[in-house]
Structure 1
Amino acid sequence: MTLRTTTDKATGVALVTLDRPDRLNAIDLPMAEQLALFWRELRLDDTVRAVVVTGAGERAFCTGLDRDAASAVPQPSSPYAIDDPLLRIGPKSNGCWKPLIAAVNGMACGGAFYLLGESDFLVADPSATFFDPHTTYGMVSAFESILMAQRMPFAEAARMALMGTAERMSARRAYEMGLVSELTEPGGAATAAVRCAEVIAGYPPEAVQGTVRACWAAQEAARAHALAYAPHLVSLGNLSPDRQAELFTSRRSSGEARVR
Structure 2
Amino acid sequence: MSLDITIHKDSGVAVVTLNRPDRLNAIDLATAQELTDAWRAFRFDDSVRALVLTGAGERAFCTGIDRGVLVEQPNSPYMQDDPLLGIGPKSNDLWKPVIAAVHGMACGGAFYLLGECDFVVADSKATFFDPHTTYGMVSAYESMLMAQRMPAGEVARMMLMGTAERISARRAHEVGLVSEIAEENGHLAAALECATVIAGYPTDAVQGTVRALWAAQAAARAQAFAQAPHLIALGNLPAERQAELFAGRRGGDPRVR
Q: Normalised by the size of structure 1, how large is the TM-score? A: 0.98
1:23-63: per-residue Cα shift (whole Å, max 9, x none)?
A: 11101111000000111111111111100000101110000
**2:86 matches 1:88:** yes
Structure 1: distance between partners of 2:146 and 2:230: 19
Secondary structure of 2:106 counterpart: strand
Q: Deviations over 1:132-181 (max 9, x none)?
A: 00000000000000000100101001110000000000000001111100
Partner of 2:254: 257
Task: Could you list the structure 1 runs, at least 4 aligned residues long, displaced by more than 6 angstroms after superposition.
Answer: none
- Looking at structure 1, the residues matched to 95 and 232 of structure 2 have their Cα atoms a distance apart, in angstroms, of 28
Counterpart secondary structure, 1:145: helix
Partner of 1:64: 64
Give the match for residue 234 of structure 2: 236
Query: Partners in 1 of 2:149 and 2:58 — Cα distance?
Result: 24
Letter in 2 for 1:172: R
Give the number of aligned pairs. Answer: 257
Amino-acid identity (%): 70
Aligned equivalent of 1:163, options 161, 164, 168:
161
Partner residue, 2:225: 227
Residue equivalent to 2:138 = 140
Match of 2:128 in 1: 130
> How far apart are 1:238 and its partner, in Å?
0.5
What one-letter code is carried by the residue in structure 2 that aligns with 1:201?
A: A
**Counterpart amino acid of residue 3 in structure 1:** L
Unaligned segments of structure 1, at least 5 residues: none
* Residues 1:106 and 2:104 are matched in the alignment: yes
Please state whether the residue corresponding to 2:210 is helix, strand or coil. Answer: helix
Q: 1:173 corresponds to which residue?
A: 171
RMSD: 0.7
In the aligned structure 2, how far is the partner of 1:2 from the partner of 1:94? 19
What's the CA shift for 1:127?
0.7
Q: CA deviation at 1:66?
A: 0.2
Task: List per-residue Cα deviations over 1:219-241 (Å, max 9, x = no partner).
Answer: 21111110111111111111111
TM-score normalised to structure 2 length: 0.99
Q: Indicate the SS of the match to 1:140.
A: coil
